[in-house]
Amino acid sequence: MITEEQLVFDFGCVIESEYYRDGAQDLIRRLVPQDLLQAKGMELSSARARFSDMLPLISFSDLSKAPCTLSVLLLCKYRLNACHFFYDMIRRWLLPHKRINVELFFASDVRIHHLSEDLLSVAEIVIHLKSVSDVEEVRRNLQAIETEIRLGVISTYHARRILEFKGLSGDGKTAMIQEKIGSLIQSHSKEFDRGIFTQMQQFLVNCSESFKIQRDYHHISRIISNLYSLRKVLQQNIEVGRSKRHVHVKFLKTQLSSQKDRHVLGILAGFNLLGEHEVFEMSHLVGAIQKHFSSIRPVEGSFFMDRAVGSSQLILYLEIEKPLGEDFVLEEIQRLRSQLPDQIKNHIEQLTHPIFMPRNEEEVLRNIMSLSRQLRFVNDIPQVTISFDEQKNANLGFTVILLKILSDGERSASDMLQMAKTSLKVIPDRVRRVGHVRKKYVKEATVFRVFVESSQFLRPDHSVDLYGARQFVFLELSKIFGEIRDFNGGMLCKQNEMLLSLKSSLGKTAEQHNLLLEQFYHSLNPIEMRTSLDVDYLKQMFLLLLQSSKQENSRKKNEDFLYKQDAHKVCVAMLVNSDKKRILMEKLKMLSLPTHQFVFSSLDIEGAFSLGFLLLSEDRGLQQSFLDTFA
């Protein structure tokens, strides 16, 4: 037999305190049967097998009448954070709805050489139970808690699942996230280095406690690892092309712990800002997403923005959900993956300073005289000019000059404005009589200012559609005064009709690239061709520009440009830098092409120029000379 004096316990570290060492040995003797501790010779083989089968060993002291103390002992094979799991289970879940007073917690790593080669962990926790109800509830919970502790101390996986099901404390979840990130570095050392810990710390500090509580550690770990990977890829792309916009998106499906049937889709979007006055926040990302899924809504408290000081990189995270919390299907995610990058580019806002431009009174008088000359007969319709005046706070201001003939019994323009029900904010300026028709009927000039809310006319990139606002003012004035002539907006009206026809012809393509299409149309030169060119020609020209910007083509002459040629025309599109654009325009100038046969468009896209050219000629020789210019 082995006497107690002959038993040897080897501790995981040098223990200077005799009291501490004796305490650990005492716990082992209280847990391990004496016959196993004193086994020797032929008995050792069966004792070792029996000891291995018994682990983990858990023991509870007897529960007496309240108040009383309960001691829980544990002996198990060493596993990282096993004792922490043991402590958390007893402290938080033995009495789930109360904070337990832990009077003592003791833990140590130890080896019992004659029974096992493994490093073991031994621990004791002592708690105080104050009331009879507490004692009874602990009795009811003991068996379930013991089963969960046995599973958790032998398996990291089971420990995670148990704590997730019960609800991790903030510290516990953070520890599991750290462990998960650490395992990524070990298993994917080429993709992840220790810099990911800095990313993890930044994310955990910036996101709210409620965010961490409602999401399991696995999903948060995925966000951090994908955030780190996306940042590296974005940096590599920027180093290759600093003047180009790079956009990357990733999608992470999950469920919120508060409602297991509430499905959400996490979106990580990363891109580079090209100018110091560019802005992109949560509202911009939501707007980009809702371009294709108007019914989705952002999950409250899920938005996160990561941008290092002095860096052009911007990475955002946002979770979205459907109105009823349904799951996102693969087709919807694929649609977002293909279309969201372009929408993000279109929704980047450019901050601009408000415009201060004092009104030119000389121009007002000149316009009054010009309009007066248009009124020569009693039945002439009112003439109006609408000029942009200022942008003040959230409003756009226009100066309106309206001239009309006051026939017998007809109300003045100022009276009609006072009685009108309109969304326009009208501020009167002056009323003048500027002549007569037939020496009897007065020509009345009314000058006033109108204001409209600019938010109604914001484009996806938050620039103001000034023409749209002006058109809105004209339509509202038409409701008040009836038929009127837009004296300084005739060409604008014709251009608007042409643009609407072009959008209708392009269908869904126009919806997907609405901002680019408007920029293309208003960049066409000569300007008069914007209203006289056939819509089908404009459509072909725009589609070829899209292909060129995406480096997709059906016919190539070389790697530099795309073209389409038929008996009546040649259309060319290409993407070039500023130097090549200058050289190319000089070569085209040498061809001396008639202005009614030559149309071109130039768009500045992320530091490069997207050029489109159209030659309207049936002369095959001229067509070939035109194409040779681009070779």
pLDDT digits (tens, 9 = 90+) for 323-344: 888 889 999 999 899 889 988 9
Query: What distances in angstroms separate CA 188 from CA 185, 302, 401, one per listed residue?
Result: 5, 28, 71
Per the listing, tokens 């500027």 go with 434
E strands of 505-626, at which residues?
561-565, 569-576, 598-605, 608-616
177 within a domain of the structure (yes/no): no
User: What's the confidence (pLDDT) of residue 5?
Assistant: 46
174 within a domain of the structure (yes/no): no
Q: What pairs with residue 464 in β-bridges?
A: 458
User: What's the confidence (pLDDT) of residue 258?
Assistant: 63
Q: Does 455 score more than 80 pLDDT? A: yes
Domain match, 156 and 198 both? no
Domain match, 306 and 192 both? yes
Residue 256: both structure tokens together: 């919120």
Angle at 616 between CA 611 and CA 620, to 5 degrees: 105
Average pLDDT of the chain? 84
Domain match, 235 and 338 both? yes
pLDDT tier, 558 (very low <50, low <70, confident <90, very high otherwise):
very low
Domain match, 339 and 470 both? no
Q: What is the largest CA-CA distance in the chain?
A: 137
3 state DSSP class of 97: coil
Cα 262 from chain centroid (whole Å): 20
355 within a domain of the structure (yes/no): no
176 within a domain of the structure (yes/no): no
Cα 601 from chain centroid (whole Å): 32
More confident residue, 169 or 593: 593
Q: Pseudo-torsion of CA 370, 374, 376, 378, nearest 10°? A: -120
User: What's the confidence (pLDDT) of residue 355?
Assistant: 66
472 within a domain of the structure (yes/no): yes
pLDDT tier, 410 (very low <50, low <70, confident <90, very high otherwise):
confident
Query: Phi, psi at residue 333, to the nearest 5°?
Result: -65, -40
Within 10 Å of residue 438's Cβ, how many Cβ atoms? 9
What are the residues whose beta carbons fall under 8 Å from the beta carbon of 461, sequence distance 6 or more?
A: 346, 347, 348, 349, 350, 515
Looking at the structure of the chain, the number of domains it has is: 4
Domain match, 467 and 503 both? no
State the DSSP string of 496-537: HHHHHHHHHHHTHHHHHTHHHHHHHHHT-BSTTHHHHS-HHH
Q: Tell me the Cα Rg of the chain.
A: 39
Q: Does 595 score more than 90 pLDDT? A: no
More confident residue, 356 or 364: 364
Query: CB of 415 within 8 A of CB of 406?
Result: no
**Rounded CA separation 502/227 (Å):** 41
Helix, strand, coil shares of the chain as percentages rounded to 5? 45, 25, 30
Sort 516 into a burial class: Cβ within 10 Å, 0-12 / 13-18 / 19+: buried
- Interval 269-289 mean pLDDT: 88
Q: Does 621 score more than 60 pLDDT? A: yes
Within 10 Å of residue 90's Cβ, how many Cβ atoms? 24
Q: Does 11 score more than 60 pLDDT? A: no
Domain match, 118 and 207 both? no
175 within a domain of the structure (yes/no): no
Q: Write out the residue range of the structural domain in which residue 602 sits.
A: 495-628
What are the residues whose beta carbons fall under 8 Å from the beta carbon of 277, sequence distance 6 or more?
A: 350, 351, 352
Domain end, chosen from 469, 488, 507, is at: 488
Percent of the chain with pLDDT over 70: 91
Q: Does 3 score more than 50 pLDDT? A: no
pLDDT tier, 76 (very low <50, low <70, confident <90, very high otherwise):
very high
Query: CB of 615 within 8 A of CB of 565?
Result: no
More confident residue, 502 or 257: 502
Q: What pairs with residue 322 in β-bridges?
A: none
Domain match, 69 and 191 both? no
Domain match, 121 and 79 both? yes
Percent of the chain with pLDDT over 90: 25
- Interval 79-93 mean pLDDT: 87
Domain match, 21 and 75 both? yes
Domain match, 482 and 502 both? no
State the DSSP string of 421-480: --SSEEEEEEEEEEEEETTTEEEEEEEEEEEEEGGGGB-TTS-B-HHHHHHHHHHHHHHH
Q: What pairs with residue 564 in β-bridges?
A: 571
**Rounded CA separation 340/288 (Å):** 7
Containing 199, the helix (H) or strand (E) segment is helix 195-206
pLDDT tens digits for range 412-436: 999 999 998 898 999 999 999 998 8
More confident residue, 65 or 86: 86
User: What's the confidence (pLDDT) of residue 4?
Assistant: 47
What are the residues whose beta carbons fall under 8 Å from the beta carbon of 574, sequence distance 6 or more?
A: 548, 560, 561, 562, 610, 611, 630
Domain match, 483 and 508 both? no
User: What's the confidence (pLDDT) of residue 551?
Assistant: 58
**Rounded CA separation 547/558 (Å):** 14
User: What's the confidence (pLDDT) of residue 445?
Assistant: 94
pLDDT tens digits for range 462-520: 788 888 899 999 999 999 999 999 998 777 778 888 888 898 899 888 888 888 888 89
pLDDT tier, 554 (very low <50, low <70, confident <90, very high otherwise):
very low
**Rounded CA separation 622/469 (Å):** 43
pLDDT tens digits for range 155-168: 887 787 777 666 55
48 within a domain of the structure (yes/no): yes
pLDDT tens digits for range 131-188: 888 888 888 888 888 888 888 888 887 787 777 666 555 566 777 777 777 777 777 7
171 within a domain of the structure (yes/no): no
Sort 323 into a burial class: Cβ within 10 Å, 0-12 / 13-18 / 19+: exposed
Domain end, chosen from 316, 350, 384, is at: 350
Q: Does 559 score more than 60 pLDDT? A: no
pTM: 0.57
Domain end, chosen from 305, 325, 350, is at: 350
Q: Does 443 score more than 90 pLDDT? A: yes
Domain match, 334 and 483 both? no
